[in-house]
Structure 1
């Protein structure tokens, strides 16, 4: 690897200084809770799109997906394709409606706050339970980013894994702590461009632009690598396997850190432009990630007699093998970019749940805006320490940690959010039932195995949650007049803003 290269170290330091400078600039523009948690709702289409994409993909895009393609070949396209379709549908189905309704619902800042105001929940149960699931699942999600950071610093600089994870955590916390949403979004714009550039440059450089030769070499190595219907052992993929991979796309509708970008965009018109940018970025980035895995497999097979002990390090291996230390340092910084772009967003959403949905609602309703921001910043530190504890196992899989948290958010919030944006008859009890059933199904299903239980837990989680919402809403009292009047106002606002 590029171990202890002064050039690479210098590249990383320069990169971090630039990110911290952006955070400091954003800090000077953060005056209240709306600024800290949603950037004052003034994101343009480019930062909104690339911030959503970069915060979504994380180190998973440069470590997890290439590692999966390295191990499974074109079978990975089921996963990548599901995510691409999910990205497009999320922007199409949710973006404008959520932005409009969150403004109509008295400028709701967080997802739990939106759901509470959507159903006029005086009991605060919806907001509290939603915030609980956000904190629980984000601990796993954030820890996946810290694991990715640990692998990066361990591989590049030869650091002990524990020290590497601590260093990575400090990098993420430092500018999230001060800049808030603006720092996160603006740095995500830079990091998203760097990530996609790295994923396209590395495989193209590795195969010298010869896609035909790549296909031929893979076919010679193992023809099943090029068959999306079979595993690499030649056996047909089961329906459960295909559905499980493609179903990753269903998770988008419940990811709080992605949904926050919809609410923060400055206009509904910008969301149309942002959708096109986001889908194009996702398609290019995932195509590059799959190519990295496939090219890396050929490289390892021809150059490394001992193979590779961890497929999630294949991107780093290729970068070191192909590029000059200066270029390698820049490209490896893309991994840090991917990690930071997601972990900062997760920490910010988690801290907003802690500050807005727990502290303000349950402990001190009269808390000032500056006090909420302070609690949010303290929450970033506390949550980082918990995620750091979970990330201390060097054998943790980035993809494994992400899959659990992704399913948790998708099932707990996806059905509740989509139905609340489209169905006037849905009530508070239905929302509660959907959030609880979805979240609990993920936790229980994850513990089971064999037969139908090998199905990715997001599928039963979303189905059971949606059924619970509909049945519970119809079996209990209709929403009262204030709730239905607000829904009518939202529909009118949506027509006007479109």
Structure 2
């Protein structure tokens, strides 16, 4: 039995378990609301871990440890920004979005919510926001499929083509069959696996390098600036890394978790669970990369793969320091991170196509059963497009992923925040905010730059556009004001 066999068996068992969860969720899916939002039935624990797992992709176990391994603690500013952004999102957006979507036509998607919240009879908000979701998320899905393929390719020596299908097939299967419940339940399992891997691995690495003092001395001997949080950093650079946290306010796959909570009263407990999980996972990812410096300095003979690609630091440490069966479980955590994010993005794309195009424009009277099957068909359609894009791992389209996060953050973030806290906002303000946010991100990235992350100007200009254009033309209608006040009262009553 080769060293790869236990890891392969572990992967197969893990994937089979995810598909079984999908089949169980299939039995619980009775209508389109169940398929897209789980019938708004998620408790605090599932809401919390599902939001965390859908957020943290393969970047958590590959990209972040790799950056820390290469440059030291100066790369950890992004983790600080993400923690701050996620906490503010839970605090100010989660509960209000849960009640506002219910009061505004029991909206199942963000485009649905925007259309009802601003009484947009022209439906231009629905179309534009659904298009933003489809464009950015198809690219995001492609990047997730590439990450999964890279994992299978490097772990089992598969060809890239074979690895592409192996990595994508399981995620597509349980998302197709079970919808939102399957995605949320599997996210909970995947989040548990990720935190287990990210707590256990740095502890074992530190023990393998001789304990805390020896590890820190080895890191310092390698390069004293590894401990310098400001190494090579400018003020603009640090602000840009922290600004990643702004993206949370506009990520549809994370906001969908808030909308699916069983009650606004579940949100505070979910916030505490989710933030604890996130801090431990990000801390563990930083520690893996940081302690990896000490391990591979002491063992240069096994450092070849990491020197070639620092993002393999977690994979190599798992293979070198653990029994192959345990290593298989740990490496399944990378697959879990990739699958949990990819499945959420597939489902949000499916809901945008089904709810915001098919039902809104083609079949207003479609039955619940018909909508569920159209939703499943859309999961397959988006998957095929994403796999075609991902077939060329060097494709320039995948470079767009770097600002897809900024695109969502700037196009939707200010609109979501203002829609929840300011009853004077109008449809014109929402449309202007979305357009200005999305266009600013693209133009800033292409033509301005200045070392400043494009989400910052995008967020600022979108917010100004909302304020200015909400004052132009007619104000909010009596119905808009009435629904806003009713939802805000429910939210405040829940927090007394």
- Class of the TM-score when normalised by the shorter of the 2 chains: over 0.9
Comparing 201-210 and 153-162, the one that deviates more: 201-210
Distance 1:52 1:408, change over 3 A: same
Choose the corresponding residue for 1:272, options 246, 268, 281.
268
Equivalent-residue separation in structure 1 for 2:249 and 2:212 (angstroms): 35
Alignment of 1:81-480 (within 5 A): 81-208=80-207, 210-231=211-232, 237-301=233-297, 302-303=299-300, 304=302, 306=304, 308-395=307-394, 402-448=401-447, 452=450, 454-480=451-477
Q: Contact 2:52–2:278 at 8 Å: present in 1 too?
A: yes
1 CA distance for matches of 2:125 and 2:163? 38
Give the alignment's TM-score, normalised by structure 1.
Answer: 0.95
Deviation at 1:401, TM superposition (A): 5.5
> What residue in structure 2 maps to residue 234 of structure 1?
none
Does the C-alpha gap of structure 1 residues 163 and 448 become closer, same or farther in structure 2, counting only changes over 3 Å? Answer: farther
1:3 and 1:466 map into 2 onto residues whose CA distance is 57
How far, CA to CA, are the matches of 2:292 and 2:463 in structure 1?
41
**Structure 1: runs of 5+ lacking an equivalent:** 232-236
Within the alignment, does 1:26 sit opposite 2:25 as a pair? yes
Distance 1:249 1:3, change over 3 A: farther
Paired with 2:374 and 2:91, the residues of 1 have a C-alpha distance of: 34
Structure 2 distance, partners of 1:292, 1:398, is 30
Q: CA deviation at 1:333?
A: 0.7
Taking structure 1 as reference, are residues 362 and 162 closer, same or farther at Cα in structure 2, changes over 3 Å only?
A: same
Deviation at 1:339, TM superposition (A): 0.7
- Counterpart of 1:493 in structure 2 is 490
Deviation at 1:448, TM superposition (A): 2.9
Deviations 1:380-425 (A, max 9, x none): 1111112122223334799966432211111110000000001111
- Measure how far apart 1:300 and its partner are: 3.3
TM-score between both structures, scaled by the size of structure 2: 0.95
Q: Distance in 2 between matches of 1:178 and 1:305?
A: 42
**For residues 253 and 433 of structure 1, what CA distance do their matches in structure 2 show?**
17
C-alpha contact 2:83 2:278 (8 A) present in aligned 1: yes
Number of paired residues? 490
- The 4+ residue runs of structure 1 with deviation greater than 6 A are 396-399
Query: 1:401–1:171: structure 2 CA closer, same or farther, 3 Å change rule?
Result: farther
The secondary structure found in structure 1 opposite 2:56 is helix
Q: CA deviation at 1:359?
A: 1.0
Query: Helix, strand or coil: the match of 1:121?
Result: coil
8 Å Cα contact 2:389-2:395 kept in structure 1: no
Residues 361/271 of structure 1: CA separation in 2 closer, same or farther (3 Å cut)? same
Partners of 1:394 and 1:153 in 2: how far apart?
14
How far apart, in 1, do the equivalents of 2:398 and 2:141 lie?
12
Contact 1:3 1:155 in 2 (8 A): no
Task: Deviation per CA, 1:213-241: give whole Å up to 9, x if none.
Answer: 2222111111111100113xxxxx11111
**1:6, distance to aligned residue in structure 2 (A):** 1.6
C-alpha RMSD of the superposition: 1.8
Aligned: 1:75 with 2:74: yes
Distance 1:3 1:410, change over 3 A: farther
- How big is the shift at 1:45? 0.7
CA drift of 1:211 comes to 2.8
Q: What are the residue-to-residue correspondences of 1:9-48 with 2, within 5 Å? A: 9-48=8-47
Aligned equivalents of 1:192 and 1:399: distance in 2?
25
The Cα shift of 1:296 comes to 2.3
Preserved CA contact (<8 Å) 1:144 1:401? no
Q: 5+ unaligned residues in a row in structure 2: which ranges? A: none
